[in-house]
Structure 1
Amino acid sequence: MTALARPLRSGIIGTGFMGSVHAAAVRAAGGTVTRVASRSKAGAEQALARLGGAAAAESPKALIESDDVDVVHICTPNAAHAELANLAIAAGKSVICEKPLATTAKDAAALYAEANRAGVVNAVPFVYRFYPAVREARARLQAGEAGPLWLLHGSYLQDWLADPGASNWRVDPTIGGGSRAFGDIGVHWCDLMEFVTGHRIERLVAQTALAFSERPQTGLDSPRTTTAVGTEDGATVMFETNQGAIGSLLVSQVSPGRKNRLWFSFEGPDATFSFNQERPDSLWVGGNTYSRTISSGSDSLSTEQGKRYAVLPAGHPQGYQDSFNSFVADVYAAVRGAAPDGLPDFRDGLRAAHITEAVLESAATGRWVDVPGRDHQSSPLYGSGAAPILERKS
């Protein structure tokens, strides 16, 4: 069996929640999880059955260097992303790196440049792009159904840190980076807004806030040991785009009852398009004389963009894991030489890092801040003629 004919072989670094999500998506895409790595080999061995892996690697570096790994999935705490992604690129492996691509824009820019130089397939899981309803909205807005967009607003709300006794490694800026709520989920909303509308955030003004100034210190046995919180629980952002629209975003990880509510409303003079990730089976469209809900099924969406990712008929909702499965399937198609539309790569990871640093700068200074790199458009999605990694190795 040739390299391109056999199933792609994946190595997953990180065995927490996201590692499990990646493993399920690998299997859905027809791949195999050949190696799993964690902080120790023992930890990797404990996670093998849960992730459906064939073998535990001695270390993340050993996994990356393994001959039976074609695609490296990096699902570790944020501070390790840049180092591991660099190792994967140096090894000539295709790489999917969880966001943030790096904890600084400088490191993200270096990764983007190095991946391009090496010609390896690279991707960042901005998976909300892969909801059928989101693709339907994108196609309809591209067709001009709303008219010129002038107001772009929304929110991303969670409650997993609403308990003051809850904590996580993301709270520590030395592990999670300088921004938590915005860097963790706010960047998803910004990526989605720019992807769906074609607008780019040019400048912004932001505020960040804490619901709790102290939380339990992670990694210790005593729950009574607390530490000062070094990253924000929530943020507000106002922005202007390169096409003259204004917008706002509210982000929180401390909103009781909101489990994972990414919501947007994109408005022009002729129509409004709105989506709520907690109810992913529909797209709301409102006009001056009507409002209607479009079911996001294979038999109810009207655009090719929407139908491509709608694998089930209306009434059978597709959710987060389904969108993640579609993302990984598109990455694997790119590894085999295809050019899937809208596949988020390291350039999009760099874009998120620039926006995050602008948010932090604005929150610290109280001023409007320009967002660097606003002239960068989406990547050519591997359409530049670079050979897929497996083809080069066969």
Structure 2
Amino acid sequence: MASQPRAGIIGTGFMGSVHSRAVHAAGGTVSAVAGSSRSSAEAAAASLGARSAAGSAEELINRDDVDVVHICTPNSTHADLARKAIAAGKAVICEKPLATSVEDASELTELARKAGVVATVPFVYRFYPAVREARDRIAKGEAGRLWLLHGSYLQDWLAGAEATNWRVDSGLGGASRAFGDIGVHWCDLMEFVTGHTITRIMAHTSRAYEEREIRGRMSSVATEDGATLLFETDQGASGSLVVSQVSPGRKNRLWFSFDGTEASFSFNQEQPDALHIGRTDSSSTVPVGPETLSTPGGRRYAVLPPGHPQGYQDSFNAFVADTFSAIKGQPPEGLPTFRDGLRAALLTDALIASAAGQSWVDVPAGRPLEYSTSYPAVERQTQ
């Protein structure tokens, strides 16, 4: 392997461009890109900064100049491509969902463990400096006993009956859309920041529009535009979450408030340059910067002075850089791996069951596999 991992990106859409920028920011190279055809790959190669275009995903996976495979394709293709990349001995960065079924997600997690390859999933909201600051402060006990964990993730990209995307097609996107696409991000963030694990949920899903354009014609929609859920955790906290992809004016508002007996910690992804800390005798907004944040986690990812917001692409860059560190044998703390992708699949499966049965559903722990690979610290530190 070269001194910096050489990437191959499968997928030429928005996420492919996000991945390519992150690879370059980490000092890596994009050796090749693959699309739905060679012509689409050739058309995208220049904009993604790729050295060449591959004729197919399989051709890219088996290239000698590709060390890590980035899977940025429709959800239904993730499992097959990840299997092939692991079989080829390549590190893998697979967009979430890792798979559209728990069975596939569990199999991929085990395959990566046995192969000893670094395999990560971009739960990139973990990489905001304010988020790491909140995590470190909560771990030190500043919140007291966490008892109420609540928030929302709201978007508007599907507002309007005419709005559509391949994700609307359950055959490509999976059985859950709003929760499976963005709700799992919030749940991952909650569990990562608080150290709590969701043990049971009560969910309701809904649609703003019963029909959308799917594969060129108006069809009934099988997946949800929004979801609301109540949950309980293994440490006795309760919580709630509202998820929507049809909330006009909300572009990407991931918001949480984690409330303890001593303090609450609140973060809004649309305003990522601050962490709000509330106490009964005071309330403060901590600006993000290496001089203003007080914990090792916060300072590690704060690379700009206060007043210079770090956003989504910055967080993605940090995630890819940390994945590259793990590939080189230096696994950083808090890197989201295939085990976290399996966790998301278990939560999605529970949400679907709860909404269908209109009842509380238990969520399996979801982290049963103990890693004994060449990068055990990655798994140990994400538990």
Normalising by structure 2, report the TM-score. 0.96
Distance 1:302 1:376 in 2: 34
Question: 1:153 pairs with 150, 155, 158, which one?
Answer: 150
Distance 1:380 1:247 in 2: 34
Distance 2:36 2:288 in 1: 40
Verify the 8 A CA contact 1:345 1:379 in the aligned structure 2: no
Deviations 1:302-349 (A, max 9, x none): 001100000001000000000000000000000000020000000000
Q: Secondary structure of 1:34's partner?
A: strand
Q: Pick closer, same or farther for the CA change 1:295–1:382 going to 2, 3 Å.
A: farther
Q: Secondary structure of 1:12's partner?
A: strand
Distance 2:273 2:370 in 1: 27
Which amino acid counterpart does residue 112 of structure 2 have in structure 1?
A: A
Question: 2:278 pairs with 264, 286, 292, which one?
Answer: 286
Distance 1:176 1:124 in 2: 17
Residue 188 (1) aligns with residue 185 (2): yes
Which amino acid counterpart does residue 299 of structure 1 have in structure 2?
A: E
Q: Please give the residue correspondences for 1:121-160 in structure 2 after superposition, counting only pairs within 5 Å.
A: 121-160=118-157
Verify the 8 A CA contact 2:342 2:366 in the aligned structure 1: no
State the shift of 1:373 in Å: 2.4
Structure 1 residue aligned with 2:18: 21
Residue 363 (1) aligns with residue 360 (2): no
State the shift of 1:163 in Å: 1.3
Verify the 8 A CA contact 1:35 1:55 in the aligned structure 2: yes
Distance 1:215 1:23 in 2: 31
Structure 2 residue aligned with 1:311: 303
Structure 1 residue aligned with 2:214: 217
Distance 1:240 1:382 in 2: 35
Which amino acid counterpart does residue 157 of structure 2 have in structure 1?
A: W
Q: Pick closer, same or farther for the CA change 1:262–1:385 going to 2, 3 Å.
A: closer
Residue 327 (1) aligns with residue 319 (2): yes
State the shift of 1:143 in Å: 0.3
Structure 1 residue aligned with 2:222: 230
Verify the 8 A CA contact 1:334 1:382 in the aligned structure 2: no
Distance 2:5 2:199 in 1: 39
Distance 1:242 1:309 in 2: 29
Q: Please give the residue correspondences for 1:43-122 in structure 2 after superposition, counting only pairs within 5 Å.
A: 43-122=40-119
Verify the 8 A CA contact 1:73 1:95 in the aligned structure 2: yes
Which amino acid counterpart does residue 316 of structure 2 have in structure 1?
A: F
Q: Secondary structure of 1:150's partner?
A: strand
Distance 2:129 2:189 in 1: 13
Which amino acid counterpart does residue 123 of structure 2 have in structure 1?
A: F
Which amino acid counterpart does residue 211 of structure 2 have in structure 1?
A: E
Structure 2 residue aligned with 1:254: 246
Q: Pick closer, same or farther for the CA change 1:348–1:381 going to 2, 3 Å.
A: farther
Distance 1:58 1:211 in 2: 40
State the shift of 1:7 in Å: 2.6
Normalising by structure 1, report the TM-score. 0.94
Distance 1:385 1:27 in 2: 26
Verify the 8 A CA contact 2:142 2:262 in the aligned structure 1: yes
Note the residue ranges of structure 1 that are not aligned, 5 or more in a row.
Answer: 387-394
* Matched residue count: 378
Note the residue ranges of structure 2 that are not aligned, 5 or more in a row.
Answer: 379-383
Q: Secondary structure of 1:56's partner?
A: coil
Structure 2 residue aligned with 1:391: none
State the shift of 1:372 in Å: 1.3
State the shift of 1:379 in Å: 7.2
Residue 172 (1) aligns with residue 169 (2): yes
Distance 2:302 2:213 in 1: 42
Over aligned residues, Cα RMSD in angstroms?
Answer: 1.5
State the shift of 1:384 in Å: 2.7
**Structure 1 residue ranges, 4+ long, deviating more than 4 angstroms after superposition:** 374-383
Distance 2:282 2:81 in 1: 51
Which amino acid counterpart does residue 345 of structure 1 have in structure 2?
A: T
Which amino acid counterpart does residue 277 of structure 1 have in structure 2?
A: Q
Q: Pick closer, same or farther for the CA change 1:238–1:217 going to 2, 3 Å.
A: same
Q: Secondary structure of 2:190's partner?
A: helix
Distance 1:104 1:24 in 2: 30
Which amino acid counterpart does residue 320 of structure 2 have in structure 1?
A: V
Distance 2:373 2:151 in 1: 27
Distance 2:373 2:212 in 1: 42
Structure 1 residue aligned with 2:381: none
Distance 1:226 1:298 in 2: 51
Q: Please give the residue correspondences for 1:347-358 in structure 2 after superposition, counting only pairs within 5 Å.
A: 347-358=339-350
Question: 1:340 pairs with 332, 349, 352, which one?
Answer: 332
Q: Please give the residue correspondences for 1:266-285 in structure 2 after superposition, counting only pairs within 5 Å.
A: 266-285=258-277
Q: Pick closer, same or farther for the CA change 1:14–1:242 going to 2, 3 Å.
A: same
State the shift of 1:217 in Å: 2.3
**Sequence identity (%):** 63
Verify the 8 A CA contact 1:341 1:381 in the aligned structure 2: no
